[in-house]
Amino acid sequence: MKILTVADQEEMSRRAAEMIIDLVRLKPSAVLGLATGGTPEGTYRLLALDHRKNGTDYREVRTVNLDEYAGLKPEDPNSYHTYMETHFFQYVNIPSEQHFLPDGTAASLNEECEDYDRLIDNLGGVDLQLLGIGRNGHIGFNEPGTAFNAGTHVVKLSESTRQANARFFGSVQEVPERAITMGIGTILKSRAILLLVSGPSKAEAMSRLLAGSEPDSNFPASALISHPNVTVIADAAAISAA
């Protein structure tokens, strides 16, 4: 793992955006694995700005998102479909048929998961997977205890994850209890991984990640230790207590 320590969230976002822009310029048909949550919002904002000012072209880019809540329609204000539209897709020229997110309302969620892994394979795999981290070390929605070879699957969200994400909903009761997530096995197939970590609430997870010498299924982010091409960009607040 290559660890880059930066001053603050703004610098983290800038460095992440630069990596994504470099990749898209080098490989215009790149497959980008995208993440949601508060952490990557600044990166999406800077990618949108760069597209407007410098014309970085996303016409051939394909995107696959990590996860989606079960039971939320794409147009639900709290769905990750809506998040991606609001923060990124509306600002860049990726044709909408080249955006992919799991469908949390599919009649069979298990079939949806199998189809999603097949889709990623058919796209040729993910060139760069963007990740955030949960306070308990979850990546995507892979909660502690998830097998590291799992493909895309349905998960029951932990209470702490629902609490942490309640800020986007009216109350914790409104946070869905289940989600579809790329598995850790799916994530590890990505050719490169970019993990963003920001703020004091992530300091404990960051310190566990730095301290770990081998993968431990009780701490999902530790799976990244075994991947050959991982960059972690962490801001001072996330590192300070580490």
Nearer to ligand GLP, 12 or 31 (CB): 12
- Site residues, ligand GLP (CB under 6 A): 35-39, 66-67, 132-134, 140-141, 161, 165
Q: Report whether 215 contacts 222 (CB < 8 A).
A: yes
For residue 119, the minimal CB distance to ligand GLP (Å) is 19
For residue 158, the minimal CB distance to ligand GLP (Å) is 10
For residue 37, the minimal CB distance to ligand GLP (Å) is 3
Nearer to ligand GLP, 40 or 50 (CB): 40
Handedness of CA 152, 154, 156, 157 (dihedral sign): positive
Catalytic residue among 65, 136, 142, 165: 136
User: Based on the number of CB atoms within 10 Å of its own CB, is 126 exposed (0-12), middle (13-18) or buried (19 or more)?
Assistant: buried
Catalytic residue among 50, 65, 67, 165: 67
Nearer to ligand GLP, 146 or 161 (CB): 161
Please give the structure tokens belonging to residue 12.
Answer: 């983290």
Q: Report whether 71 contacts 178 (CB < 8 A).
A: yes
- Where are the strands (E) in the chain, listed by range? 2-6, 31-34, 62-65, 67-69, 99-100, 128-131, 153-156, 178-181, 192-197, 230-235
For residue 52, the minimal CB distance to ligand GLP (Å) is 24
Catalytic residue among 99, 143, 165, 235: 143
HEC profile of 131-166? ECCCCCCCECCECCCCCCCCCCEEEECCHHHHHHHH
136 is catalytic: yes
For residue 110, the minimal CB distance to ligand GLP (Å) is 19
Nearer to ligand GLP, 56 or 189 (CB): 189
Catalytic residue among 51, 81, 87, 138: 138
235 is catalytic: no
Nearer to ligand GLP, 60 or 168 (CB): 168
216 is catalytic: no
Q: Report whether 231 contacts 164 (CB < 8 A).
A: no
- Of 131, 129, 133, 145, nearest to 207 (Cα)? 133
143 is catalytic: yes
The residues carrying an active-site annotation are: 67, 136, 138, 143
